[in-house]
Amino acid sequence: MNYLSEKGADYLGRIRALGPAIDEAADRIEEERDLPKSLFAAIREKGLFRLVQPVEYGGVELDPPSLVQCIEEVAKHDASTAWCVGQTNICGITSAFLEPAVVKDIFGPETGILAWGPGPGTARVVDGGFRVDGKFDFASGSRLASWLGAHVPAIERDGSKRLGSNGKPVTYTMFMPKSSVKVRDTWQVMGLRGTGSDSYDVEDLFVPESYSLARDPVVTPRAKGDLYVFSPSMLYASSFAGIALGIARSVMDSFVRDVKETVPRGASRARGDSHTMQSLVAQNEARLRSARAFLLNSVAETWAHVQKTRSVTPEQLVSIRLASTWAIQNAREAVAQLYGAAGSLAIFNSKPFERRFRDMHTVTQQIQGHPAHFETVGQILLGREPERPMFTF
């Protein structure tokens, strides 16, 4: 089944045209822990940082099934680049909810890119807005960004937390120029090194109310596109699953291309002639194809329903969460098995396995790939009250 729209095919073609440039930059990305300026400019010129922003603001407003495949395609070449593109794009979906003047200020410039990371922090209510304090981490793509966000509770003047539509404390996103915060280089990590996911400190910074957004399900987007029925969390889950599948596909393709004729030390025949190796390749091919089909089918079915009803059913939320987590975990399993099967060839920087192994296992440590999501889905399927929300805003 074709899950790619006409617009999606256009942007997938743009990414494929950039593939050689991403491949060439991969070692620099790893070493410098950032995207080279030339690659950043090329990605920007192709419109790849505007994939989910509203058409009325110059965005692409790409459908979710195509978005997943576009991010997956980037990941086949370099996982850090894909992570930056995916993260900053989905941060940019907030443009559909903000006042036009604020959107123009944040995203209007050619280099207008938003990144963010989790706290802790607070936003104290004051006249005209908030005073924000906090320490924030894991801001993927922040070295490319001109604006940063902070997810914090709003503290009323009496010290209580502001409540949302469900009667529980509601989290707000605060939008701040990167120049107004203190950025700390903390990204010394095993994998996804090129994401530059730095930390940043905010101290008593005034944020106007119009530069804040309540992360509440009842908040209505100003943009009218069907895309904005999907929550950012749903797009994060499915797109990051696409990254995992892209990494695993590149490992599979490299294994079949580069390893099949190699002869392990002490063996009498090539790896490709081993029955054990043949079975392993076939099973992992099935693993990746089935996980990808489940993911894309779940996203596409939900998208079709949204286009008809502008709503998402609880069953569709379960399907996307389950398919996303399943794809990430199965991609990790495929990469781990192929890495092991490549033997000592896999440990060299000159080969395509070592970095992708580290990147893949870093992807699985992020919240979208956490095995705890299986518990949540299982609780729902068994008629129990889930202990954690399926998705947030």
Helices 6-32, 64-77: crossing angle, 10 deg rounding = 30
Q: How far is it, in rounded angstroms, from Cα 174 to Cα 159?
A: 19
CB 121 within 8 A of CB 172: no
Res 393 pLDDT > 80: no
Cβ(177)–Cβ(146) below 8 Å: yes
Q: Tell me the domain boundaries of the chain.
A: 6-107, 114-214, 226-381
Overall average pLDDT of the 70-86 stretch: 98
Give the range among 38-42, 305-309, 350-354 with minimum mean pLDDT. Answer: 350-354
pLDDT above 80: residue 60: yes
Region 306-321 average pLDDT:
96
pLDDT band at 301 (very low <50, low <70, confident <90, very high): very high
Q: Say how far residue 323 (Cα) sits from the centre of its chain.
A: 15
pLDDT at 200: 97
Query: Taking 90 as the threshold, does the pLDDT of residue 216 lie above it?
Result: no
In Å, what is the CA distance from 50 to each residue of 45, 67, 114?
10, 11, 11
Region 41-65: what's the mean pLDDT?
97
Structure-block tokens of residue 109: 């410039």
Q: What's the average model confidence in pLDDT over 236-265?
A: 94
Return the minimum-mean-pLDDT range out of 6-20, 153-167, 292-306: 153-167
Question: What's the topology of domain 114-214?
Answer: Butyryl-CoA Dehydrogenase, subunit A; domain 2 (2.40.110)
Q: Would the CA dihedral through 120, 124, 129, 131 be positive or negative?
A: negative
Question: Do 226-381 and 114-214 have the same topology in CATH?
Answer: no
Fold of the domain built from segment(s) 226-381: Butyryl-CoA Dehydrogenase, subunit A; domain 3 (1.20.140)
Alpha carbons within 13 A on the beta-carbon side of 129: 17
pLDDT over threshold 90, residue 142: yes
357 band by pLDDT with thresholds 50, 70 and 90: very high
pLDDT at 348 > cutoff 80: yes
Question: Domain 6-107, what architecture?
Answer: Orthogonal Bundle (1.10)
User: What local confidence, expressed as pLDDT, does residue 390 receive?
Assistant: 79
Provide the pairing of β-strand 121-126 with 129-139.
antiparallel
The pTM is what? 0.96
